[in-house]
């Protein structure tokens, strides 16, 4: 199977909690009949997957195929979990499946387990640390799964495809030679900004998160993107503001606040510099 052929079927998407005191699957070898994707929201510990032990913490993404053995080694964690197939071949099987103890598991129980010829990383477990972009997308997946609106399966498939592509790209970045490390770092900074643009994000907070000097990070970022981190952040906020001005009835001041601007004056000045008109004039033109 090739990566371009995937059309994931989301069988279940939820926010879950594992607690050592009341969950029998903690510290027990288990397997699943369909594929699994986890994103850790809170809690720390470790997870042994296919015999390899990984540290897990908030921001950790875990992706593996059906039939993979894993063990939760934690006190308590909260996470997003997605049960899925890589295709819609078995979309008629909508029953959700709990993990099975390894001793009772048989390979015939696996629903689907394709072998990827062009993306070998998907043939083995992928564990990524500090992948903040996934949280927002997985929140959207779990919300859409619960709401079950029109075209839900199609939307869930598209969203999960995007997540899988992002995970594969990040995994590839981690394995590239050292000279490609800066490109991987810039991608992570962009992901960080895209998920935190609406808060009090700054060059200093970005640098603190990634444990680098602010000027050093800014220099690398501009070399790869052509803009400074601050310019990219403001542009991301403006794009979000334009969307809100088109589709919502919030006041201009509320839009400014929701998009991360600390003052209406700064918002208006930044908006006009990039769009060519004030937020109010833009709303009147597009609504």
The full set of domains in the chain, from first to last, is 3-175 (2.60.120.280), 177-287 (1.10.10.60)
Helix H or strand E segment including 126: strand 126-128
Q: What is the pLDDT of residues 228-277, one digit of tens each?
A: 999 999 999 999 999 999 887 889 999 999 999 999 999 999 999 999 99
> What is the pTM assigned to this prediction?
0.67
Distance CA 112, CA 39 (A): 22
For residues 24-59, b (16+ Cβ closer than 10 Å) or e, as one string? eebeeebbbbbbbbbbbbebebebebeeeebebebb
Contact, 40 vs 63, CB < 8 A?
no
- Measured CA angle at 65 (ends 59, 70), to 5 deg: 65
pLDDT in tens, the chain (287 residues): 999 999 999 999 999 998 877 666 678 899 999 999 999 999 999 999 999 999 999 989 999 999 999 999 988 999 999 999 999 999 999 999 889 999 999 989 999 989 999 999 999 999 998 776 678 889 999 999 998 888 999 999 999 999 999 899 888 876 665 556 788 888 889 999 999 999 989 999 999 998 888 998 999 899 888 899 999 999 999 999 999 998 878 899 999 999 999 999 999 999 999 999 999 999 988 76
> Would you state the structure tokens that stand for residue 69, as one six-digit string?
């053995």
Distance CA 282, CA 135 (A): 31
The residue assigned the tokens 């399966």 is 153
Q: What is the pLDDT of residues 96-121, one digit of tens each?
A: 988 999 999 998 999 998 999 999 99
- Measured CA angle at 252 (ends 247, 253), to 5 deg: 135
- Closest residue by Cα to residue 14 from 110, 91, 65, 84: 84
Contact, 128 vs 60, CB < 8 A?
yes
């Amino acid at each position: 199977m090739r990566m371009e052929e995937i059309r994931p079927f989301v069988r279940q998407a939820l926010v879950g909690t594992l607690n050592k005191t009341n969950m029998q699957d903690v510290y027990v070898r288990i397997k699943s009949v369909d594929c699994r994707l986890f994103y850790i929201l809170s809690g720390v510990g470790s997870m042994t997957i296919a015999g390899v032990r990984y540290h897990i913490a908030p921001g950790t993404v875990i992706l593996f195929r059906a039939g993979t053995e894993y063990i939760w080694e934690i006190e308590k964690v909260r996470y997003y979990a997605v049960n899925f197939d890589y295709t819609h071949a078995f979309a008629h099987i909508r029953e959700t499946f709990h993990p099975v103890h390894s001793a009772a598991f048989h390979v015939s129980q696996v629903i689907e387990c394709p072998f990827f010829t062009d993306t070998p990383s998907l043939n083995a477990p992928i564990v990524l640390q500090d992948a903040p972009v996934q949280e927002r997308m997985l929140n959207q997946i779990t919300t859409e799964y619960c709401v079950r609106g029109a075209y839900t399966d199609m939307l869930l498939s598209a969203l999960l495809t995007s997540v899988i592509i992002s995970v594969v790209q990040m995994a590839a970045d981690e394995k590239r030679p050292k000279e490609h490390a800066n490109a991987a770092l810039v991608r992570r900074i962009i992901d960080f900004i895209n998920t935190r643009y609406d808060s009090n994000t700054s060059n200093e907070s970005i640098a603190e998160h990634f444990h680098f000097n602010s000027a050093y990070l800014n220099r690398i970022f501009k070399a790869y993107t052509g803009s400074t981190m601050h310019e990219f952040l403001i542009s991301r906020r403006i794009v979000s503001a334009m969307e809100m001005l088109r589709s919502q009835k919030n006041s201009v001041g509320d839009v400014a606040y929701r998009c991360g601007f600390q003052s209406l004056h700064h918002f208006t000045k930044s908006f006009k510099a990039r769009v060519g008109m004030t937020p109010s004039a833009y709303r009147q033109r597009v609504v």
